[in-house]
C-alpha cells in the first residue's frame, strides 16, 4: 500500500517537474518481457495517432527524433523505442539531460518539504514541552513524592524526588544529591530534619562529628559502665554506618560487668512526659535465648531501677528491673506476638514511646507497630498482663542509654546510628 502511494506521488510529481503539455500524459513504468528496454524513469506517451506521426518530416522520423513542432522546443526527446502501443501510440523516453533536471527538481522539492515537515514537528514538540513544563503538580514542589517543580512526575529535579522532594534531596531521581532525610538538628548530624508529628527534636545525632576510634560527642553523650566495668567497650566506627560514614560500635562481653552504655539525660528532661526515642541498630549475631539489654531508661519513681529493652527467647522484649516483669509474657503465644531484629549487615529501626502520665508503652520496628510490645493500660493475655501486675505504673524517666548488658553469657558486637529523641512521633525517615 505504501509503495503504491509513493509511486503514484512520484508520477504526479514528475508530471509537474517536467512541465509536460496537456497532450502528453505520464504512465507508470512496468517492464515487459518482450520489450527491448527496461525503463528506469516514468514513460512519456505520445497521444498522436500513427497518421499524425507520419505527417512529420521523413528525415526527422527516420532519424528517430520527434518533430520539434509537436514537442516543446525547450525539451529534447530522444526516442529510445518505436514500437506500436495501444491504439497506435508511440512510446518515447526522456533524455538523460531531462532526467537529471527532473532529479534536481525532485531533490529541491523534497528538501523543502522535509524542512517544512521538520518545522511543523518542532513546533508541535515545543508546544507539548510547554504543556509539561508549565503543568501544575498534583502535589506541592519540595514535598512531593512523585513530582518535582513543574509538571506531574516531571520537571526540575527529575522524576520521583524533584526539587527538594521527599528525602531532602537537592535534585535528580529519588531525591538525588543529598542523602535521604539529610541535614542536622539539635547538635547532631545526618539525622532527621523533621519528625512525623512535627515535634522538634531534643536530640539528633548521626555521630558524624566525632572522630573514628574515639568516644561520641561528649556534649551529648556520657559513656559509663554502671556498678562495675569489665571487657565492654564502645567507640566511633568509621567503616559501618546507616547514613553518612560513622556509627557507634559496641563490643559487649558475656558477664554483667562487661556491660557498657552511652547515655543522654538533658534531652529526656527537656521533653516532659512524652518520651519518643528512635535509633537504628545492627546486630552482629542474632539475639539468643538468654536475657540481654541494649536500651535502658532510668525510672526515678522506681528507686532508680531501669526500664529495659533487649532480647530473650530470641525476640525483642521489655523488662522491668525492679520486678523482672516482661512485655510480652514469655509464653509461646507471647513470643509469637513479637519479632527478632535482623542481623548484620541489615539495620533495624526501633522507635519507643513511653507515656509517663498514662503509664503506657508503644513500639514500632521499621515503622510498623509490634503488637507484643504495646501496653495501653488494658491487660491482654500473653501480652501486657504480666507488665500490668504492678498497679498504676507511671514511670518518671531521667535518661536514655544504648549499649549492651548480658545476664546469660551472650557476647555481642552491635552498632547504633541516627539516634533521635522527641516529644512526638519521629519515624524511621526511610
Question: What does pTM read for this prediction?
Answer: 0.58
Q: What is the CATH number of the domain that holds 249?
A: 2.60.120.200
Q: What is the mean pLDDT of the chain?
A: 72
Yes or no: say if 259 and 406 are a contact pair by the CB < 8 Å rule.
Answer: yes
Question: Which of 72-81, 88-97, 333-342 tops mean pLDDT?
Answer: 333-342
- Residue 109: per-residue pLDDT: 72
Yes or no: say if 263 and 297 are a contact pair by the CB < 8 Å rule.
Answer: no
- Residue 101: per-residue pLDDT: 67
3-state DSSP call for residue 261?
strand
Higher pLDDT, 155 or 285: 285
Question: Which of 112-116, 148-152, 385-389 tops mean pLDDT?
Answer: 385-389
Helices (H), 206-308: 266-271
Report d(CA 339, CA 361) in Å as an integer.
17
Answer yes or no: is pLDDT of 64 > 70: no
Same domain, 275 and 410: yes
Helices (H), 236-363: 266-271, 332-336
pLDDT tens by residue, 159-188: 323 333 333 333 333 333 333 333 333 444
Report d(CA 408, CA 420) in Å as an integer.
30
Same domain, 159 and 304: no
Same domain, 232 and 349: yes
Q: What total of structural domains would you count in the chain?
A: 3
Same domain, 230 and 369: yes
What φ, ψ does residue 86 adopt, rounded to 5°?
-55, 135
- Residue 45: per-residue pLDDT: 44
3-state DSSP call for residue 399?
coil
**All cell numbers assigned to 229:** 566495668
Find cell 558475656 and name the residue.
254
400: domain range? 201-422
pLDDT tens by residue, 252-265: 999 999 999 999 99
The full length of the chain comes to 430
**How many whole angstroms from its chain centre is CA 73?**
73
- Residue 385: per-residue pLDDT: 96
Yes or no: say if 223 and 240 are a contact pair by the CB < 8 Å rule.
Answer: no
- Residue 79: per-residue pLDDT: 45
Same domain, 171 and 84: no
Largest CA distance in the chain: 136
46 belongs to a structural domain: yes
pLDDT tens by residue, 107-141: 667 767 766 655 554 444 443 333 333 333 333 33
3-state DSSP call for residue 233?
strand
Answer yes or no: is pLDDT of 36 > 90: no
Same domain, 237 and 364: yes
Answer yes or no: is pLDDT of 410 > 50: yes
Answer yes or no: is pLDDT of 63 > 70: no
- Residue 194: per-residue pLDDT: 56
C-alpha neighbours within 13 Å on the C-beta side of residue 214? 10
Amino acid at each position: 500500500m505504501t509503495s503504491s502511494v509513493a509511486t503514484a506521488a512520484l508520477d504526479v510529481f514528475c508530471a509537474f517537474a517536467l512541465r509536460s503539455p496537456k497532450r502528453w500524459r505520464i504512465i507508470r513504468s512496468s517492464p515487459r518481457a518482450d520489450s527491448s528496454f527496461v525503463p528506469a524513469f516514468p514513460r512519456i506517451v505520445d497521444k498522436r495517432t500513427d497518421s499524425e506521426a507520419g505527417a512529420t518530416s521523413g528525415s526527422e522520423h527516420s532519424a528517430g527524433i520527434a518533430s520539434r513542432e509537436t514537442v516543446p522546443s525547450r525539451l529534447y526527446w530522444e526516442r529510445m523505442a518505436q514500437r506500436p502501443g495501444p491504439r497506435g501510440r508511440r512510446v518515447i523516453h526522456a533524455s538523460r539531460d531531462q532526467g537529471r533536471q527532473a532529479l534536481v527538481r525532485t531533490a529541491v522539492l523534497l528538501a523543502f518539504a522535509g524542512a517544512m515537515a521538520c518545522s511543523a514537528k518542532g513546533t508541535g514538540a515545543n508546544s507539548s514541552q510547554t504543556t509539561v513544563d508549565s503543568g501544575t503538580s498534583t502535589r506541592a514542589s519540595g514535598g512531593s513524592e512523585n513530582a518535582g517543580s513543574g509538571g506531574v512526575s516531571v520537571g526540575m529535579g527529575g522524576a520521583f524526588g524533584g526539587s527538594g522532594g521527599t528525602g531532602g534531596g537537592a535534585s535528580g531521581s529519588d531525591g538525588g544529591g543529598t542523602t535521604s532525610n539529610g541535614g542536622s538538628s539539635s547538635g547532631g548530624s545526618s539525622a532527621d530534619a523533621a519528625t512525623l508529628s512535627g515535634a522538634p527534636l531534643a536530640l539528633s545525632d548521626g555521630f558524624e562529628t566525632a572522630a573514628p576510634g574515639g568516644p561520641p560527642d561528649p556534649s551529648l553523650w556520657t559513656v559509663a559502665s554502671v556498678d562495675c566495668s569489665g571487657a565492654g567497650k564502645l567507640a566511633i566506627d568509621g567503616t559501618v554506618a546507616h547514613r553518612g560514614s560513622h556509627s557507634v560500635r559496641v563490643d559487649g562481653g558475656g558477664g554483667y560487668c562487661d556491660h557498657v552504655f552511652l547515655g543522654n539525660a538533658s534531652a529526656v528532661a527537656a521533653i516532659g512526659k512524652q518520651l519518643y526515642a528512635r535509633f537504628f541498630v545492627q546486630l552482629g549475631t542474632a539475639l539468643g535465648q538468654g536475657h540481654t539489654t541494649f536500651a535502658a531508661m532510668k525510672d526515678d519513681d522506681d528507686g532508680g531501677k531501669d526500664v529495659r529493652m533487649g532480647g530473650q527467647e530470641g525476640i525483642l522484649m521489655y523488662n522491668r528491673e525492679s520486678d523482672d516483669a516482661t512485655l510480652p509474657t514469655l509464653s509461646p503465644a507471647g513470643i509469637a506476638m513479637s519479632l527478632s531484629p535482623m542481623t548484620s549487615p541489615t539495620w533495624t529501626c526501633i522507635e519507643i514511646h513511653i507515656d509517663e502520665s498514662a503509664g503506657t508503652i508503644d513500639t514500632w520496628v521499621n515503622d510498623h507497630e509490634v503488637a507484643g510490645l504495646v501496653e495501653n493500660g488494658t491487660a491482654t493475655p500473653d501480652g501486657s498482663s504480666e507488665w500490668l501486675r504492678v498497679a498504676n505504673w507511671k514511670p518518671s524517666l531521667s535518661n536514655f542509654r544504648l549499649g549492651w548488658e548480658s545476664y546469660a553469657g551472650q557476647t555481642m558486637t552491635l552498632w547504633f546510628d541516627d539516634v533521635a529523641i522527641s516529644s512526638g512521633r519521629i519515624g524511621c525517615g526511610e
